[in-house]
Amino acid sequence: MNISILVFGSQKFLTTLPDQIRYATAFSVEVIANLDQAVSHITMTPPDIIVVQASLDGSMELCSWLKDQPKLSWIYCILLEDRSQQIIDRGKYGWEWELEMTSSALKQGADAYIWQLPEGKTDYTLAELTANQRLILAQLTVGLRKAKKYRDLIRTNDLLSAIALADSLTELNNRRALEWDLPRQIQKAREQSLPFSLIILDVDFFKKVNDTYGHLVGDRLLQLLCIRVRHNLRFQDTPFRYGGEEFVILLANTTGEEASIVARRLNRIVSEQPFAINNQHTINITISLGTASLQSDDDEQGISLLHRADQCLLEAKATGRNKVIGWDHLSHVQYLKAAASS
């Protein structure tokens, strides 16, 4: 596990830390003494542990800011008290005052609050020096355990998310994944002023395959179909199993004309070669496809875009199947029909 530590403090402060931190080889250490720079660094590259010098300007602000960030609050923050006045008051007022200071530091966002040994004194015993260093390292160990648990949780969540968004039969992304990804791709296309299109395709007469050969053969056919389709898409095309024998393909940075080219190629590569289910069964199938491109008045979720592509798919199936119908073509046909009826 590659652990990273951010020291918010001066170079002089760094020299007071245990050698295991300063000369670490098992993890990386960054030193920053400016609050704005530290916040920028944490936001862009979150460390696992932060060691904060209490006397540095912005130290408590950093601890408080960190705990106010939902996505960063897991970072373990160790505040080292090195302010001379606080250390003097600690010796003057005793343990009750020390507990009050500790309570205040924890409330403001520190996960651990450790008193440094006062500067200027040179007659510390080896036991005193060792105890202080061991306390810092003990809190570092706590932070390391927390970082490991957090990373394990992230890996588990990523695995569960992948399972939830995958179709177990075809290994494509499922409809839930489409509903999550389509709005993202629409937003990206609009922000970058890029074209965006999609394809809806359906296997022609798939029910006949199931009725003739059984559902296991039908399932295997869908698997082979998805393999063939996936291997004939461009790198920016994203396929999804929409439901049953129906699939959606998102086409980033693709015009309506280009979408029709992609769709016609898929139509051809499916129909031109039979699918070998096993040694006994080889099945010929065709697919019908509808295409549509993003328009300025489409909703952010992509519902209207999907609807237009689906209308094209229905037209392809109604007019003979095994063909591609694009929205431009369908809207022109509908216009001519409306003009003729009037």
Domain of 228 in residue numbering reads as 175-341
Domain with residue 55: its CATH number is 3.40.50.2300
Can you say whether the dihedral through the CA atoms of 201, 202, 203, 204 is positive or negative?
negative
For residue 56, what pLDDT is reported?
Answer: 94
Whether residue 23 sits in one domain with residue 108:
yes
Q: At what angle do helices 327-341 and 303-318 cross, to 10 degrees?
A: 70
Give me the catalytic one of 245, 246, 272, 300: 245
Domain count, the chain: 2
Whether residue 151 sits in one domain with residue 299:
no
Whether residue 253 sits in one domain with residue 231:
yes
Q: Confirm whether 169 is domain-assigned.
A: no
Contact 275, 225 (CB under 8 A): yes
Domain with residue 241: its CATH number is 3.30.70.270
Whether residue 272 sits in one domain with residue 227:
yes
End-to-end Cα spacing for the chain: 73
342 Cβ contact partners less than 8 Å away, ≥ 6 residues apart: none
Q: Confirm whether 285 is domain-assigned.
A: yes
Each of the 342 residues of the chain gets a pLDDT tens digit; together they read 578 899 999 998 988 888 878 777 777 889 999 999 999 999 999 999 999 999 999 999 999 999 898 888 889 999 999 888 888 888 888 888 889 998 999 999 999 999 886 655 555 555 555 777 888 888 888 988 888 888 888 788 777 777 788 998 999 999 999 999 999 999 999 999 999 999 999 999 999 999 999 999 999 999 999 999 999 998 889 999 999 999 999 999 999 999 999 999 999 999 999 999 988 889 999 999 999 999 999 999 999 999 999 999 999 999 999 999 999 877 656 655 655 665
Whether residue 195 sits in one domain with residue 52:
no
Q: Confirm whether 272 is domain-assigned.
A: yes
For residue 162, what pLDDT is reported?
Answer: 73
Whether residue 188 sits in one domain with residue 112:
no
What predicted TM-score, i.e. pTM, was given to this entire model? Answer: 0.60
For residue 118, what pLDDT is reported?
Answer: 60
Lookup result for tokens 């300063």 = 22
Whether residue 44 sits in one domain with residue 111:
yes
Which structure tokens are listed for 272? 């031109």
Q: CB atoms < 10 A from the CB of 105, how many?
A: 22
CA 85 – CA 104 distance, rounded (Å): 16
Residue 42 exposed, middle or buried by CB count within 10 Å (0-12, 13-18, 19+): buried
Whether residue 249 sits in one domain with residue 127:
no
Range 55-83 burial, b when 16+ CB lie within 10 A, else e: bbebbbebbebbbeeeebebbbbbbbbbb
CA 132 – CA 127 distance, rounded (Å): 9
Whether residue 187 sits in one domain with residue 290:
yes
Whether residue 212 sits in one domain with residue 136:
no
Of 142, 163, 184, the last residue of a domain is 163
Of 128, 163, 198, the last residue of a domain is 163
H or E stretch at 29: strand 27-32
Q: Confirm whether 20 is domain-assigned.
A: yes
CA 177 – CA 226 distance, rounded (Å): 16
Of 110, 130, 163, the last residue of a domain is 163
Q: CB atoms < 10 A from the CB of 179, how many?
A: 15
Residue 262's closest CA among 293, 304, 285, 296? 293
For residue 121, what pLDDT is reported?
Answer: 53
Q: CB atoms < 10 A from the CB of 333, how many?
A: 13
- Per the annotation, the verdict on 245 as an active-site residue is yes
Q: Confirm whether 168 is domain-assigned.
A: no
Q: Confirm whether 159 is domain-assigned.
A: yes
Contact 139, 78 (CB under 8 A): yes
**Which DSSP letter does residue 225 get?**
H
Q: Confirm whether 251 is domain-assigned.
A: yes
